[in-house]
Amino acid sequence: GDLLPADGVLIQGNDLKIDESALTGESDHVRKAVDKDPLLLSGTHVMEGSGRMVGTAVGGNSQSGIIFTLLGAGGDEEEEERKDKKG
């Protein structure tokens, strides 16, 4: 169960299966291969196999970073609405 630290493209893999439930909610493991579905996303876990990838995005620019940013921004808007209603 290694956690992927960055988004990337698979360039070499051996029977690689990824748990993407943290991002998609889908509980089934996703098979990844160089010729079919090579995109790997940060915040997901390697469940089987091995592989190498070229990183394409980290931190706030990765898919999980974008999601966390949007969730954080939504919380700020809700807090501002509550302040406006009180005052």
CB neighbour burial string for 11-37, b if at least 16 within 10 angstroms, e if fewer: eebeebebbbeeeeeeeebbebeeeee
CATH of the domain at 13: 2.70.150.10
Per-residue pLDDT at 56: 96
pLDDT of residue 1: 76
Other C-beta atoms closer than 10 Å to the C-beta of 40 total 24
Which residue range is the domain that position 72 belongs to?
A: 3-85
d(CA 58, CA 47): 21
CA–CA distance, 39 with 37 (Å, rounded to integer):
6
* Residue-wise pLDDT tens digits, 5-35: 999 999 999 999 999 998 888 889 999 999 9
State the total domains in the chain: 1
User: Is residue 78 very low, low, confident or very high in pLDDT (cuts 50, 70, 90)?
Assistant: low
Measured CA to CA, the distance from residue 42 to residue 63 in angstroms comes to 7
